[in-house]
Structure 1
Amino acid sequence: MTVVAAPTLHVTKGHGTQNDFVLLDDREARVDLTATLVRELADRRAGVGGDGVIRVVASELVPEGVEVLAEEPAARWFMDYRNADGSVAEMCGNGVRVFAAYLERLGLWDGSDGELALGTRAGVRRVRRVPVPAGVGDDVWYAVDMGRWHLPGGTDAVRAGADAEVEVAGLAVARAGLSVDVGNPHVVLALSDAAELTAADLTRAPQVTPVPPNGTNVELVVPLGEQQQPDGSLVGRVRMRVHERGVGETRSCGTGACAAALAVRTWAGAGAPDVWLVDVPGGTVRVSVLPDGHVELAGPAVLVAAADVDLSALAAGR
């Protein structure tokens, strides 16, 4: 890789239900995206600020992208996602939608032409434009096939409803949690009401036992019941807060919303809805369990600003 030593770095700021990102157009892989640079860009006081950094790069130019191309030759672009602390992450559900919106802005994809296949460290993700649901004030929604999901605890966890114990600051006792894998790890625990959800202190990372080997995101959820739609189908609804590994509490987490809906659906048992609306502090997303064992996430993506970052000033803020 040829590293370009430029005095400025052009970036774009975007968010999906207020899960926000710094976006880089580095399609030729010329930026040395170190953990330090990621932390500086994501810093909310001395940098641009964001829950993570997303780089657009040609799949053929990164090893993980080459692996994706072997699976799906149409996945020309790779979503290189980093957490705000500089650590490399598998993918991000809200970030995928923002990545797709960014590709449209760059002229690298036309949403009216159909589905976009893109590469992530969790495999190929497929994105399409979808209508905004009635009653939701967003302008544009994207739906993402998030791939296969599974419960790492297997049938034993389904029967018990849990396979972990979680201590959360602000809550008096530890709670049972259910592990859900959506391309990255999650542990979901149910709370009794909105008051408990508000009382939880997520400025500190919840303590999960057994300790996940690669860390985990933790979702706190309050089930809000189910509603029958005009066509007779049921749609469930949950409210959620999330602590993301390597970041802290965020206003939204796409894979976390999927995990939350999948956990509540598992607890509800036979006859539970396949479609769930998940309310997060930053808005609402829709999670759909697909018949092929995949899960789909739909929601908004917004690009709010572009800027030229002075790298010398950024480094001076260390």
Structure 2
Amino acid sequence: MTGTGLLAVTKGHGTENDFVLLDDRTGELELGPELVRALADRRAGVGGDGVIRLIASDRLPEGAAALAEDPQARWFMDYRNADGSVAEMCGNGVRVVAAFAERIGLWDGRGELALGTRAGVRRVRRVPDPDGGPVAWYSVEMGAWHLPGGAAAAAEGADAEVEVRGLPVARAGLSVDVGNPHTVLALAGLEELAAADLTAAPQVDPVPPTGTNVELVVPLGERRTADGAVGAVRMRVHERGVGETRSCGTGACAAALAVRAWAGAGAPDVWRVEVPGGVVRVTVHGGRVELAGPAVLVAEAEVDLAALASR
């Protein structure tokens, strides 16, 4: 990492999945892995599960692809995991960067905001908190999803085996792709969910080519509402390149999609997903999925790059 001077940053989170946010709309910042790791360091840096740079789409090759997909996607969400690796996108991060774009005047909060990501364009809009809370909620059209194992995995309910520290035997897992890879396994109850040790990465067999996020889920049943049935699930997640996080937006989608697949015909399309950091809502629209939840910006700061480099 090189460079001196002060770097303006904003800290935000979506259900306690937290990020360091950078306004680099003109593409002047050299955002390498070393700088990302330093900023995300929870003791010597700002601290976060990842770093998100908001940059003009025409400043990056991936952004040019987003503009080709949707000319309205003027801004690109350049997301990096805490270990410095590049990631396709992040469901919680999309909501937080939308709030950030609103804060810095790139979006007025009305209509839809089209954001470029490495998983394609994501469209964001403000929505009310279904529980009537005071925090702003944002809904993200997360795009297409699929089961990499195809019809055979859907019929079997699994296409992988997962070993989790703290659980006595390996469990069957179902691969779900939501723009990035996930493996979801069901547990017998909340006691097992609490007993799982996610300080170590679960071992997945076979391992997807680019690794995978792993969701441990406990289905909580369904409830009837005026708008139809709503399913509920509680989950924990181990994110590749990060470790256990308080929440994962694409992971919440994957968890809901897996439980819905296991439930079979007649399963709800709307799911309340409880994560350690709060609650999000997942809505399935056929082959596409939508994620809604809160986004909070908690601080603005200036980072001394020379001091950061000396850590």
Question: TM-score interval w.r.t. the shorter chain?
Answer: over 0.9
Counterpart Cα distance in 2 of 1:227 and 1:125: 30
Is 1:85 aligned with 2:86? Answer: no
SS of the aligned residue for 2:83 comes to: coil
Residue 307 of structure 1 aligns with which residue? 301
Match of 2:120 among 116, 123, 130: 123
2:196 paired with 1:196: no
Identity of aligned pairs, percent?
A: 75
Q: Structure 1, residues 119-163: CA drift from partner, whole Å, max 9, x if none?
A: 0000000000011102x5352100000000000000100111000
Is the contact made by 1:85 and 1:247 (CA closer than 8 Å) also made in structure 2? yes
Tell me which of 25, 28, 31 is aligned to 1:27. Answer: 25
Q: Distance in 1 between matches of 2:115 and 2:142?
A: 11
Q: Match of 2:13, SS?
A: strand
Please state how far the C-alpha of 1:6 moved relative to its aligned partner.
4.4
Code of the aligned partner of 1:116:
L
1:96-134 alpha-carbon deviations (Å, 9 max, x no partner):
00000000000000112x011110000000000011102
Look up the SS of the partner of 1:36 in the other structure: helix
Aligned ranges for residues 112-151 of structure 1 at < 5 Å? 112=110, 114-134=111-131, 137-151=133-147
TM superposition score normalised by structure 2: 0.98
Among 54, 58, 68, the residue aligned to 1:60:
58
1:110 maps to: 108
CA–CA distance in structure 2, aligned partners of residues 143 and 67 of structure 1: 23
Contact 2:214–2:237 at 8 Å: present in 1 too? Answer: yes
Runs of 4+ in 1 over 4 A off after TM superposition: none
Deviation for aligned residue 1:5: 4.4
How far apart are the structure 2 equivalents of 1:32 and 1:71? 26
Query: In 2, are the aligned partners of 1:279 and 1:285 still within 8 Å (CA)?
Result: yes
CA RMSD of aligned residues (A): 1.2
Alignment of 1:1-318 (within 5 A): 5-112=3-110, 114-134=111-131, 137-231=133-227, 233-291=228-286, 293-317=287-311
- The DSSP-based 3-state class of the residue aligned with 2:30 is coil
Code of the aligned partner of 1:166: V
Give the deviation of 1:212 after TM superposition. Answer: 1.4
| 3-state SS, counterpart of residue 121 of structure 2 | strand
CA shift for structure 1 position 93: 0.1
SS at match of 1:123: coil
SS of residue paired to 2:199: coil
SS at match of 1:111: coil
Checking the alignment, whether the CA contact within 8 Å between 2:146 and 2:178 is kept in structure 1 is: yes
Q: Distance in 2 between matches of 1:44 and 1:138?
A: 28
Cα-to-partner distance string for 1:246-302 (whole Å, 9 max, x where unaligned): 0000000000000000000000000000000000000000000014x2100000000
CA contact (8 A) 1:15 1:98 kept: yes
User: In structure 2, what is the Cα distance between the partners aligned to 1:158 and 1:212?
Assistant: 17
Distance (Å, rounded) in 2 between the aligned partners of 1:138 and 1:312: 39
The residue type equivalent to 1:140 in the other structure is: A
| Alignment-mate amino acid for residue 74 of structure 2 | R
Segments of structure 2 that go 5 or more residues without pairing to the other structure are: none
SS at match of 1:107: coil
Aligned residue identity for 2:212: T
In the comparison of the two structures, how many residue pairs are matched? 311
- What do the CA deviations read for 1:155-183 (whole angstroms, capped 9, x no partner)? 10011100000000000000000000000
Q: Decide whether the 8 Å contact of 1:138 with 1:300 is kept in 2.
A: no
Q: What amino acid is aligned across from residue 30 of structure 1 in structure 2? A: E
SS state of the match for residue 107, structure 2?
coil
CA distance, structure 2, for counterparts of residue 81 and residue 117 of structure 1: 16
Tell me the SS of whatever aligns to 2:292: strand
Tell me the amino acid that sits aligned with residue 41 of structure 1: L
Q: Distance in 1 between matches of 2:293 and 2:187?
A: 24
Q: What is the TM-score of this pair, normalised by structure 1?
A: 0.96
Rounded Cα–Cα distance in structure 1 between residues aligned with 2:71 and 2:133: 36
One-letter code of the match for 1:77?
A: W
